[in-house]
Structure 1
Amino acid sequence: MIIAIDGPAASGKGTIARALAAHLGLPHLDTGLLYRAVGAAALEAGVAFEDTAALAALAAGLDSARLDAEALKAGPVGEAASRVAAVPAVREKLLRLQKDFAGQRGGAVLDGRDIGTVIAPQAQLKIFVTATPEARAERRYQELARRGEAVTFEQVLADIEMRDARDSGRASAPLMRASDAVLLDNTGLDRDASIAAALALVADRTGRS
């Protein structure tokens, strides 16, 4: 069984995906980490975001087994990830890795922005997780504040809105809800309630509780 979870930044899709994977005993891939890793590598190497060939080379050399999720959550890396994700050559290099993960025996849970539309359109369950920009900005602001990063809510909201526009407007695999995806708007839900709602969708669609 393949479960595809898509949504914009700070919607909680990763938290939901990890919980579903643990509950169902399935492997999980946060595809956003792949783009964050390329973005982080570009920042570290001083590669310009306009240098598509160099960005593609970084993507081709990515070792998905050595991703440091915690280190890749830093604020500047998120912006870099959104920029490299808009580069078709980068997406092409990472496409096969993601498709292979989705196609492994027994299934998998993947979260990102184009899982249900590009990576695994054959998924048995597709969930599009979203919330208002303000709610998502508040979540991200609290996360960054706990990490000791000096940001304001207004800065985080502006970043969220800019990333939404870039992710939805890019020519290659834009962020969009698949026609057969179930909408989960968790604006007024906390973490546990969001996970419970997703588990209910799994039970309803697949019969697995």
Structure 2
Amino acid sequence: MQLFFHPEVSENDKEVRFSREESKHIVKVLRKKEGDSLHLTNGKGWIFETEITLADQNNCSAKIISSEKELPPPYYLHLAVAPTKMNDRYEWFLEKATEIGIQEITPVICDHSERKVVKTERFQRVIQSALKQSLHSRMPILNEPVNLTEFLQQEISGEKFIAHCEEDKPRKLLSGSVKKGISTTVLIGPEGDFSSEEIKKATAAGWLPVSLGNSRLRTETAAIVACHTVALINEQE
């Protein structure tokens, strides 16, 4: 099944009109014609089966045949990850985290961050593409970048972990700390790790220090390890 994305469509709609970009892809690239079926999601849990009524590469439209709302995942994962120096590495993280399954992402600016300015418009497109590729029906929330100090002041429910590399500070393995079915937020620092002061502030605010294993990981790799760890634990029978 190939999945398309249309954020405005709802379960009460009878038809849908695609954007010029999607219309061109459907008609010119995929060579779809009137009567062909398409599946799409609005990123809010709904999957729609549609039938093309107008195969116009500038204004493709379809009637909605059926709709089904998928159950939400059995867990809620929020990753707060420092931006990487190269944007393509952060985009790789966004793509893979969306494929694995994540509900919320926040870029956090830290003391050692090499990139202080982040534009989320392209990030949003990367997430949208990964959503369609992985056939997921729920679009992860991508928050605007925030300074770590401000982020630590936010009200966050569930379990809160900060993954850092300072070996002289006590840490537990994330894999042994995650509780199934509990909302989980994990902080991942920049290439130079969190500063000692940031770690101190986080632990004082109730964040549990954790390790992701013995290997020293890049920011984007650490984020994927954390994402997969939480997903795997929650999806076990």
TM-score by length of 1: 0.32
Structure index of larger Rg: 2
More helix by share: 1
More strand by share: 2
TM-score by length of 2: 0.29
Higher relative CO (CA 8 A, sep ≥ 6), structure 1 or 2?
Answer: 1
